[in-house]
Amino acid sequence: MKLLISLLFFCLTFTGYSQNPEGFDKMCGNYIKGTVPLAKPEQLKFEMSKISTIYILDAREKKEYQTSHIKTARFIGYDNFNISSVADIPKTSKVYVYCSIGYRSEKIGEKLLAAGFKSVYNLYGGIFNWANNKYPMVDGQGKATNAVHGYNKKWGKWLNDENCEKKLN
């Protein structure tokens, strides 16, 4: 059974890359330094379906979060993040942090690790990668959406036009 699950996870891991615009992985590599373990969207989606005690934290700003976020994600922000906002989360829990592409969430992940959290993961490619893979999102009212706050044209280009409705500043 473990072999079957591992094989399924391995196959799912490599199916999502074709959904991203050309150069997406290289761009992410320019911003994400690997100081926090990375998790691919496929891994998070799989764990969301199997494990009820994971925490998902959205490290974007409120306007971005209101446009869309991963269901069950908690808004923590970036500019005004305070470690006390996650004081209720057990430090032994699995915590996934994401932002647009992974830069801001990596910085928040570093703070969580420094505060003693044991299992922190940075969602590789952030909500852009999640949305490009057509994974479900909700808006600020909890309704299903495919809209993503792309910030501006420079960043919005990393959203797949076929999968996402881009919302720019």
For 38-70, what is each residue's pLDDT tens digit? 999 999 999 999 977 899 999 999 999 999 999
User: Of the ranges 1-5, 57-61, 130-134, which one carries the lowest mean pLDDT score?
Assistant: 1-5
**Domains in the chain, start-ordered, CATH in brackets?**
20-168 (3.40.250.10)
Residues 6+ apart with CB under 8 A from 146: 68, 131, 134, 137, 163, 164, 165
Residues in the chain: 169
Report residue 101 as tokens.
Answer: 């592409």
Q: Residue 8's pLDDT is what?
A: 44
CB 104 within 8 A of CB 78: yes
C-alpha–C-alpha distance, residues 142 and 169, integer Å: 21
pLDDT at position 15 over 80: no
pLDDT-based confidence at residue 169 (cuts at 50, 70, 90)? confident
Taking Cα atoms as reference points, which of 42, 56, 140, 139 lies closest to residue 99? 56
